[in-house]
Amino acid sequence: MTHKIVVVYQSLLGIYGDRGNAKVLLKRLQWRGEPAELVDVEPGQPLPPDGLIYLLGGGEDQAQIAAVKQLQADGGLQAGLDAGGVLFAVCAGYQLCGRSFTVGENDEVFAGLGLLDVETRRGPQRAVGEVLTRWTRPDGGLELLTGFENHGGFTSLGSDAKPFAKVEIGVGNGTDGYDGAVQGRVIGTYPHGPILPRNPALADYLLELALGRTLGPLPRPDVNAEHDRLRAQRLEVVRTTKNRAEQTR
For residue 91, indicate whether it is catalytic: yes
Q: Which is nearer to ligand GLN, 56 or 165 (CB)?
A: 56
By the rule CB under 6 A, 16 interacts with ligand GLN:
yes
Catalytic choice (3, 97, 151, 192)? 192
Q: Which is nearer to ligand GLN, 64 or 70 (CB)?
A: 64
Q: At residue 97, what are phi and psi to the nearest 5 degrees?
A: -75, -15
Q: How many CB atoms lie within 10 A of CB 17?
A: 14
Smallest distance from ligand GLN to CB 226, Å: 27
By the rule CB under 6 A, 155 interacts with ligand GLN:
no
Among 25, 51, 64, 181, binds ligand GLN (CB under 6 A): 64
User: Taking the CA atoms of the chain, what radius of gyration do you get in angstroms?
Assistant: 17
By the rule CB under 6 A, 148 interacts with ligand GLN:
no
For residue 97, indicate whether it is catalytic: no
By the rule CB under 6 A, 103 interacts with ligand GLN:
yes
Integer Cα distance of 90 and 97 in angstroms: 10
- Going by their DSSP bridges, the two strands 118-136 and 100-103 should be labelled as parallel
By the rule CB under 6 A, 187 interacts with ligand GLN:
no
By the rule CB under 6 A, 244 interacts with ligand GLN:
no
By the rule CB under 6 A, 58 interacts with ligand GLN:
yes
Q: Which is nearer to ligand GLN, 92 or 161 (CB)?
A: 92
Closest residue to ligand GLN, Cβ-based? 58
Catalytic choice (3, 91, 151, 227)? 91
Smallest distance from ligand GLN to CB 208, Å: 27
By the rule CB under 6 A, 97 interacts with ligand GLN:
no
Q: Which is nearer to ligand GLN, 95 or 189 (CB)?
A: 95
- Going by their DSSP bridges, the two strands 86-90 and 108-111 should be labelled as unpaired
Smallest distance from ligand GLN to CB 151, Å: 3
By the rule CB under 6 A, 152 interacts with ligand GLN:
yes
- Going by their DSSP bridges, the two strands 186-189 and 118-136 should be labelled as unpaired
Integer Cα distance of 148 and 190 in angstroms: 8
Length of the chain: 249
Integer Cα distance of 176 and 44 in angstroms: 37
Integer Cα distance of 137 and 135 in angstroms: 6
Report how far apart, in Å, the C-alpha atoms of 164 and of each of 69, 151, 190 are. Answer: 26, 17, 10
**Residues 64 and 169 sit within 8 Å (Cβ to Cβ):** no
Question: Count of residues binding ligand GLN (CB under 6 A)?
Answer: 13
Half-sphere exposure of 173 toward its Cβ, with a 13 Å CA cutoff?
Answer: 24
Q: At residue 19, what are phi and psi to the nearest 5 degrees?
A: -60, -25
| Catalytic positions | 91, 192
Residue ranges binding ligand GLN (CB under 6 A): 16, 58-59, 61, 64, 91-92, 95, 103, 150-153
